[in-house]
Amino acid sequence: MESIELRLRLKEFAIRIIKMVDCMPRTISSDAIARQIIRSGTSPSANYRAALLGKSDKDFLN
């Protein structure tokens, strides 16, 4: 898989997660769950970007 393709797929995934959370009911418990879903659904793209910015093999592993 190409780097650009994966980046686009991760971005689309994050957008779909955000849209899903926007459709959830507004209760105290669902707000807490929604925040966690947003964090876990958008973090893969940030982690992928950080991995691409690694300057060495050791940097890539951290």
User: Could you state, in order of their start, the residue ranges of all structural domains in the chain?
Assistant: 3-61
pTM over 0.85: no
Token pair 């982690």 in the structure block, residue: 47
Q: Per-residue pLDDT tens for 6-41?
A: 999 999 999 999 999 999 999 999 999 999 999 999
CA distance 48 to 2: 13
Q: State both tokens at 15.
A: 């957008």
pLDDT at 62 over 70: no
Stronger pLDDT, 50 or 25, i.e. the higher one: 25
User: What pLDDT is recorded for position 61?
Assistant: 64
For residue 37, give the nearest of 54, 55, 20 by alpha carbon. Answer: 20
